[in-house]
Amino acid sequence: MGINIALDGPSGAGKSTIAKRLAERMGYVYVDTGALYRSVAYNVISKGADPADSTQVCPLLSGIDVKLAYENGSQKVILNGEDVSDKIRTPEISMGASGVSAIPVVREFLFELQKSIARENNIIMDGRDIGTVVLPDADVKIFLTAAAEERARRRYKELQEKGDTSTYEQVLEDIRQRDYNDIHRDIAPLKKAEDAVEVDSTDLSLDEAVEVIYKIAEDKIASKKNGSVQKKHESKEIAQIRPVKRGKKLSPVRMFLYSILRPVVRLIYKCWFNLSFEGTENIPKDGSNIFASNHRSYSDPVFIALPTRVPLSYMAKEELFKQNIFFTWLIRFFGAFPVTRGKGDTAAIDMSVEKLEMGRNLVIFPEGTRSKDGKVGKGKTGVALIAAIAQVPVIPVGINFEGKLKFRRKVVVRFGRPIRPEELAVTSVSPKELKMLKTKIMDAITELVY
């Protein structure tokens, strides 16, 4: 049994290009399952049948022999002995594939072929239902998305290079229609597997997307090898409520240095940006609070720290601590602590609760990544989990500026009313309570963002 990586997502999110690159880098076989549906559509259309009509498609299946072959590492699709790899890439076949893929008998017809390839090789398989239906036990599951406009732009460019005359509007309309078909079909609809990691490639270059997914895959495979049993045990232990004792004082030297440095940095920031704060009355005077903010720029922790009397801590990726000594000292002084990615969330959560216990405030960006368009994305549950374990208030923060952060840019930082887990009767870390708390936090952040 090989290692299986399932890569699902809507049309044009970059799955095939990324999967090919990953397969090359990891020495895996790339399996493009969309090509199988396309071959069926190609056969059906070339026989003059309607690919969306099961009564016309089903009788043709017995005459279809489709195989995937590999030549110099690239996948070839062989339909009844003919190499159709290029012929199946037209807009007409794309739409036809979307039609045949909604027919249960077609899916069954291709199911065993996909399973058998995965059984025998280390594979990266891309499709729509790989993580949910074809390989529900895949070692790694990724759900790759991107905004429809961006996917249409990429596909339009690709088609133009091939000499296709479709307009951008047609390509976008096609993508929307296929999304609709893929999501709304009754059988194996396009949806993220519960245990899949979602990666949004809208603002990522191809190299960046490959890198992100490669790291996720490597981490998952490594942690699987290191024994998942131990990990489960650990996560049980951290998920106990252990309210932090409030009122703990930080060292007077640190507080003194902080009280001197803060106005200096504030002055620099006020000169550099057109910066203002709203709702500062909501900032607690003591420590052991969580500030949950939307994430727009690398300056966000500073924006939150400037009106806050007690120093903040925030997670930063481990790599940042391997730069020069001064930089490392500086970010540590300003509250960054390293998170080792791939060691699971447990270490980061433990560390966060420890910082709250020390009397520090904690900044968390629940979206996990910076938003380029300013819209508040989906939050992760980590913030609710930490707040529930430590039973500390969460102060929502909205950081607002238009476009990119640059010299004299108007920046408005808004602080909302604290959200207290105990007031919401969050007294355990049950998924239901965490979801409710997370929703409250994300809604509050969204209200502070214009």
Is residue 98 a contact point for ligand DC (CB under 6 A)? yes
Pairing relationship of beta strands 394-400 and 410-415 according to DSSP bridges: antiparallel
To ligand DC, the closest distance from the beta carbon of 45 in angstroms equals: 13
Q: Are 391 and 421 in contact (CB under 8 A)?
A: yes
**Region binding ligand DC by CB under 6 A among candidate stretches 68-76, 95-103, 358-366, 422-430:** 95-103
Is residue 127 a contact point for ligand DC (CB under 6 A)? yes
Residues 6+ apart with CB under 8 A from 438: 366, 379, 380, 381, 383, 384
Q: Which of 14, 34, 338, 382 binds ligand DC (CB under 6 A)?
A: 34
| Shorter beta-carbon distance to ligand DC: residue 4 or 352 | 4
To ligand DC, the closest distance from the beta carbon of 195 in angstroms equals: 18
Tokens, residue 216: 């996720």
CA-based torsion, 4, 10, 16, 18: positive or negative: negative
| Shorter beta-carbon distance to ligand DC: residue 130 or 172 | 130
**Region binding ligand DC by CB under 6 A among candidate stretches 29-37, 52-60, 382-390, 427-435:** 29-37
**Region binding ligand DC by CB under 6 A among candidate stretches 31-39, 211-219, 255-263, 301-309:** 31-39
Tokens, residue 376: 């508040």
Is residue 9 a contact point for ligand DC (CB under 6 A)? no
What phi and psi values does residue 449 have, to the nearest 5 degrees?
-110, 130
Q: Which of 37, 42, 365, 415 binds ligand DC (CB under 6 A)?
A: 37
To ligand DC, the closest distance from the beta carbon of 94 in angstroms equals: 6
Q: Which of 174, 182, 200, 300 binds ligand DC (CB under 6 A)?
A: 182
* Angle formed by the axes of helices 206-225 and 228-238, nearest 10°: 100
**Region binding ligand DC by CB under 6 A among candidate stretches 97-105, 169-177, 388-396, 425-433:** 97-105
**Could you give the CA distance from residue 10 to residue 148 in angstroms, rounded to a whole number?**
9
Q: Beta-carbon neighbour count of residue 26 at 10 Å?
A: 16
Q: Which of 75, 101, 132, 391 binds ligand DC (CB under 6 A)?
A: 101
Burial of 51 by CB count in 10 Å (0-12 exposed, 13-18 middle, 19+ buried)? buried
Amino acid at 203: D
**Region binding ligand DC by CB under 6 A among candidate stretches 92-100, 278-286, 342-350, 382-390:** 92-100
Q: Are 373 and 449 in contact (CB under 8 A)?
A: no
| Shorter beta-carbon distance to ligand DC: residue 94 or 352 | 94
| Shorter beta-carbon distance to ligand DC: residue 129 or 200 | 129
Is residue 11 a contact point for ligand DC (CB under 6 A)? yes
CA 398 to chain centre: 21
To ligand DC, the closest distance from the beta carbon of 38 in angstroms equals: 6
| Shorter beta-carbon distance to ligand DC: residue 94 or 294 | 94
What is the DSSP secondary-structure string of 74-131? EEEEEETTEE-TTGGGSHHHHHHHHHHTT-HHHHHHHHHHHHHHHHHS-EEEEESSII
- Residue 292, classed as helix, strand or coil, is strand
Q: Are 393 and 420 in contact (CB under 8 A)?
A: yes
To ligand DC, the closest distance from the beta carbon of 326 in angstroms equals: 49
Q: Are 87 and 47 in contact (CB under 8 A)?
A: no
Q: Are 415 and 283 in contact (CB under 8 A)?
A: yes
Q: Beta-carbon neighbour count of residue 428 at 10 Å?
A: 14
To ligand DC, the closest distance from the beta carbon of 160 in angstroms equals: 18
Pairing relationship of beta strands 312-317 and 336-339 according to DSSP bridges: parallel
Tokens, residue 328: 């490392």
**Region binding ligand DC by CB under 6 A among candidate stretches 126-134, 155-163, 320-328, 337-345:** 126-134
Q: Are 241 and 379 in contact (CB under 8 A)?
A: no
Is residue 33 a contact point for ligand DC (CB under 6 A)? yes
| Shorter beta-carbon distance to ligand DC: residue 182 or 300 | 182
Is residue 129 a contact point for ligand DC (CB under 6 A)? yes
Is residue 355 a contact point for ligand DC (CB under 6 A)? no
How many residues contact ligand DC, by CB under 6 A?
A: 15
Is residue 178 a contact point for ligand DC (CB under 6 A)? yes
Tokens, residue 120: 């025998």
To ligand DC, the closest distance from the beta carbon of 14 in angstroms equals: 11
**Could you give the CA distance from residue 293 to residue 379 in angstroms, rounded to a whole number?**
10
To ligand DC, the closest distance from the beta carbon of 198 in angstroms equals: 17
Is residue 38 a contact point for ligand DC (CB under 6 A)? yes
Is residue 51 a contact point for ligand DC (CB under 6 A)? no
**Region binding ligand DC by CB under 6 A among candidate stretches 32-40, 280-288, 359-367, 416-424:** 32-40
Interface residues toward ligand DC, by CB under 6 A? 11, 33-34, 37-38, 94, 97-98, 101, 127-130, 178, 182
